[in-house]
Amino acid sequence: MIEVRGLTRRYGDVLAVDDLSFTVEPGKVTGFLGPNGAGKSTTMRVVLGLDRATSGTALVNGRPYASFGEPLREVGALLDPGAAHPGRTGRSHLRVAARANGIPRRRVDEVIERVGLGRAASRRIKGYSLGMRQRLGIATALIGDPGVLMFDEPINGLDLDGVRWIRGLLRQLADEGRTVLISSHLLGEMEQIADRLVVIGRGRLIADATTEQIVSGLGQVRVRVRSPRPDVLRARLRERGFEVERVDDHELRVEGSTAEEVGGLAHALDVPLHHLSEVRQSLEDAYVELTTGSVEYQGREPVLTAEEAR
């Protein structure tokens, strides 16, 4: 378990993390989300003892990370896939990590096989692609068979096969009862992987709930309906206080109602329907709604001249 309580971290005048509290429980994949500069990496660095908290605590299984004599047996982490020495081979990198933590040498070959680096294990790391470095970092995190795992953007650089592999790996690790915390900007992947989400902005907690609660708990239900007589249906829906948008000659988009309500009303009005469905908002939609006002770095759309716009 990871417990963050009242965590604050300042770098001079910069407040990177501001009185942040949340818990990452075993048996679940917890997604850690937020805009660039939100404080995600800083929080993970404090948990791992790489930065000191200005105030508050960050504990792993009730203890500070620095108190573990053989930390890789307790916590496995991937924060920077480029942190390995480029002159070493993948196998030698893992052997050093194993020896420093009292881990049997046979474990090196086990994790190499598990992450699919068998053919590359004897090559120098400087020749690795980003995806191969990610796999090596994950192997290093797994080498001590820890109960707590933390990954910062582990999907970056992976091909489709690698993405599908890591989905399964994270699910398996959580199902084994481990605590899994993963930070990523790939919201489509997080929606598939994460059981729970912790969302922060400007160093403060915005949301801490299950993925389903965050996706379905924001905004109103949206219904898509197609009919050869949309005007009749639209007029009655508006009479009932629903917001109705005309998409084209036959399609309506209804906010705040349900497919059951719209279908029942159409039946009562004897209006035929060619399509009726509820549109579920995505995690991206929910995330944008949650983090509006918390984005530190915002680009601006280019302004085109009249001549450029032609």
Asked if residue 133 and residue 275 are part of one domain, the reply reads: no
CATH number of the structural domain spanning residue 114: 3.40.50.300
Asked if residue 129 and residue 12 are part of one domain, the reply reads: yes
Asked if residue 261 and residue 244 are part of one domain, the reply reads: yes
Residue 199: beta bridge partners?
Answer: 33, 207
Asked if residue 230 and residue 203 are part of one domain, the reply reads: no
Write the pLDDT tens digit of every residue in 148-181.
999 999 998 899 999 999 999 999 999 999 999 9
Write the pLDDT tens digit of every residue in 4-26.
999 999 999 999 999 999 999 99
Asked if residue 51 and residue 132 are part of one domain, the reply reads: yes
How far is the C-alpha of 201 from the C-alpha of 222, rounded, in Å? 27
Asked if residue 138 and residue 249 are part of one domain, the reply reads: no
Asked if residue 102 and residue 207 are part of one domain, the reply reads: yes
Residues of the domain holding 52: 2-216
Asked if residue 250 and residue 121 are part of one domain, the reply reads: no
What pLDDT does residue 297 have?
53
What pLDDT does residue 282 have?
76
What pLDDT does residue 256 have?
77
Domain end point (choices 199, 216, 233): 216
Asked if residue 242 and residue 127 are part of one domain, the reply reads: no
The reply to whether 306 falls in a domain is no
Write the pLDDT tens digit of every residue in 73-114.
999 999 998 889 999 999 999 999 999 999 999 999 999 999
Asked if residue 23 and residue 148 are part of one domain, the reply reads: yes
Q: Across all residues in the chain, what is the average pLDDT?
A: 90
The reply to whether 156 falls in a domain is yes
CATH number of the structural domain spanning residue 258: 3.30.70.980
Residue 244: beta bridge partners?
Answer: 254
Asked if residue 235 and residue 99 are part of one domain, the reply reads: no
The reply to whether 286 falls in a domain is no
Residue 8: beta bridge partners?
Answer: 55
Q: Count how many domains the chain has.
A: 2
What pLDDT does residue 280 have?
73
**Residue 250: other Cβ atoms inside 10 A:** 14
pTM recorded for the entire structure: 0.79
How far is the C-alpha of 182 from the C-alpha of 190, rounded, in Å? 9
Tell how far CA 310 is from the center of its chain.
40
Beta carbons of 187 and 284 less than 8 angstroms apart: yes
